[in-house]
Chains A and B, each alone.
Chain A
Amino acid sequence: MTMTAWDLFSLPFMQRALLAAVFTGLAAPAVGTYLVQRRLALMGDGIGHVAVTGVALGLVTHTSPTWTAVVVAILGSVVIELIRERGHAGGDVALALLFYGGLAGGVLLSGIGGKSATTLQEYLFGSITTISAGDVIVTMVLAAVVLVVGVGLAPQLFAVAQDQEFAQVAGLPVRVYNLLVAVLAAVSVTVAMRTVGLLLVSALMVIPVATSQQVTRTFRTTLAASMVLGFVASLGGLVISTFASYHATVAPGPTIVLLALACFILAWPTGAWLRRRRAAALPTGGATDV
């Protein structure tokens, strides 16, 4: 039986799935790091909800759901960022309206267009093994863009997310960078859409980051470690679900997310121990250490 499982990986659809998993696993936490830094861990989730309308538009109009999702997700993320920027008390509620409007609109639209719930479900919970060659290329290109921008502009994006007011007085175009992070988040949502699905996208953006920061103490290592963890979870989750599928229906998307969560559960006690040890080793202020 195991031989045939290994043979599976030589099949084209499986190789496409592996490629999509690897690129998604690397790109999603790269953007997720900046979202967590701004304490916007759930922004990916919100964009994911909005993107459902994008997918439905693609299905109904018989165009590529990937591209319509990219466009709608980017539009949604820009609106979310503009609402957030204004910082009004009502902004929170405005975001909720947008998120659930996006989700409900998507489900309604695809129903009107005569699409079955299973078609939409491929996008809601991922369907990595049915990904087409064209979609793999789109996924790889978009993920590469996210990685190049997210890593290449790391000093600027770090500074803006760390302290927006300082960055503004330093003359950085804060608004441009804020919108850039929002657009990157939208792009990685659509990249991860086929892998883990729109409803679990945020998990792949946030859990690896939460895991790596248990044991890291610099931004650079957090960014790098979360990308490695995202890679391991995506690839590992896909492989595990492939093997497990001989015995039961094991979907890759939830497996990837649960594997990422398992890593977090392992890292958490280690982090707690490390923090206690560091706190004991380092004098924190007072007359002895100024």
Chain B
Amino acid sequence: MPVTAAPLDDPVELSRGRVTIAGRDILRDVSLEVHPGEFLALMGPNGSGKSTLVRALTGLNPLSAGALRLFGTPYASFRDWHRVGFVPQRASAASGIPASVWEVVASGRLTRRRLLRRLSHADRAAIDDALETVGLAHRKQDGVTTLSGGQQQRTLIARALAGEPELFFLDEPTAGVDLPNQQALADALHRLKDRGATIVLVAHELGPLAPLVDRTVVMRDGEKVYDGVPLADHEVHGPVFFGESHSHHHHDEPVHHDHGPVPQVDAPLERSQEGS
């Protein structure tokens, strides 16, 4: 454990973060703390700013105002990037040159490798373990382009895993992925959660990931409109941000939310401030 951060520091601490792109505020004064070991689902419609938020937390979208701390360290002086794993929003893990699944996953180990050194036994073990965790060990010699979209997503997750980070950012890993692959993805994230990893997941719909979620944040128009107990998919996207009653049992529901009963209505707008 590096001496720069006390073990109890929140992995993510964003206060009044703003992101401005081409003169427009895409993210407006969003504050967010993610606690150690928490599985946070960041939801909202397309263009709501949920991906921008996660990109702001990784530094890919620099803040125009506000402050970000990672593991208690201000972003500008944060150097422990091996503690952070990132799964970008990608339709494919391919580039202009063929690459094997193993090679793509091994590139995630660079956070812990020194220049011009061969892979150590620990490096190889971590790469194998990452492949095992996402269930792709049997495909490691294959080219990434021969994999299905869902398998390529799992390759990207394994790449983030290979650096053995404590904090994961996943940007829409389930987009365009079939149900069996979503289940395999959920299994992999379950294993991560059991190991104590902190996970921030951007998702349009949770599907099989729903039971893993500890807390949901809903974004709309660049602002946080809900922060509290997990919501089911239909509550986030349906006409839900009105009404009174609240249920704590959504995450125990079966995974097929789409055709479920009329949603229990929550009052996220009223509750949005108390949860944060």
Contact = CB atoms under 8 A, between A and B. Distances in A.
Contact of A162 (B104, B135, B150): B104
A33 B97 contact: yes
Most chain A CB neighbours (cut-off 10 Å) among B60, B95, B108: B95
Interface stretch (A92-100, A214-222, A251-259): A214-222
A87 interface: no
A216 B98 contact: yes
B106 A155 contact: yes
B23 interface: no
A152 B97 CA distance: 18
B146 A284 contact: yes
A159 B60 CA distance: 17
B110 A37 contact: no
A284 B148 contact: yes
B15 interface: no
A156 interface: yes
Given A170-B111, A218-B103, A287 B180 contact: yes
A161 interface: yes
Interface stretch (B79-87, B223-231, B265-273): B79-87
A154 B41 CA distance: 36
Interface string B68-89: 0000000000010110101010
A159 B156 CA distance: 12
Given A159-B110, A220-B103, A282-B142, A169 B81 contact: yes
A37 B98 CA distance: 8
Main SS class of interface, B: mixed
Contacts of A165: 60, 86, 88
A149 to B, nearest CB: 10
Contact of B184 (A153, A216, A290): A290
Nearest to B149: A285
A174 to B, nearest CB: 11
A171 interface: yes
Contact of B150 (A163, A216, A285): A285
Interface in A172-202: 172
A220 B99 CA distance: 8
B58 interface: yes
| Chain A residues touching B, range | 35 or more
B113 interface: yes
Contacts of B159: 166
B88 A219 contact: no
A63 interface: no
Interface in A234-279: 278-279
A151 to B, nearest CB: 11
A17 interface: no
B244 interface: no
B97 A222 contact: yes
Contacts of A36: 96-97
Interface in B139-183: 141-143, 146-151, 156, 159-160, 163, 169, 178, 180-181, 183
A123 interface: no
Interface in B174-224: 178, 180-181, 183-184
B247 interface: no
Given A163-B90, A290-B181, A285 B148 contact: yes
A284 B98 CA distance: 17
A202 to B, nearest CB: 15
Contacts of B102: 218
B112 to A, nearest CB: 10
Contact of A218 (B81, B143, B149): B143
Given A217-B100, A218-B143, A222-B97, A290 B183 contact: yes
Contacts of A220: 103
B156 to A, nearest CB: 8
Nearest to A41: B96
B59 interface: yes
A285 B88 contact: no
Contacts of B84: 169
Given A170-B108, A218-B102, A285-B151, 11 more contacts: A33-B97, A155-B106, A163-B107, A169-B81, A169-B84, A170-B86, A217-B98, A218-B99, A219-B100, A222-B98, A279-B146
Interface of A: 33, 36-39, 41, 152-153, 155-156, 158-159, 161-163, 165-172, 209, 213, 216-220, 222, 278-279, 282, 284-287, 289-290
17 contacts: A33-B97, A156-B115, A158-B107, A162-B104, A166-B159, A166-B160, A167-B110, A169-B86, A169-B88, A217-B141, A217-B146, A219-B97, A219-B98, A284-B151, A285-B151, A287-B178, A290-B151
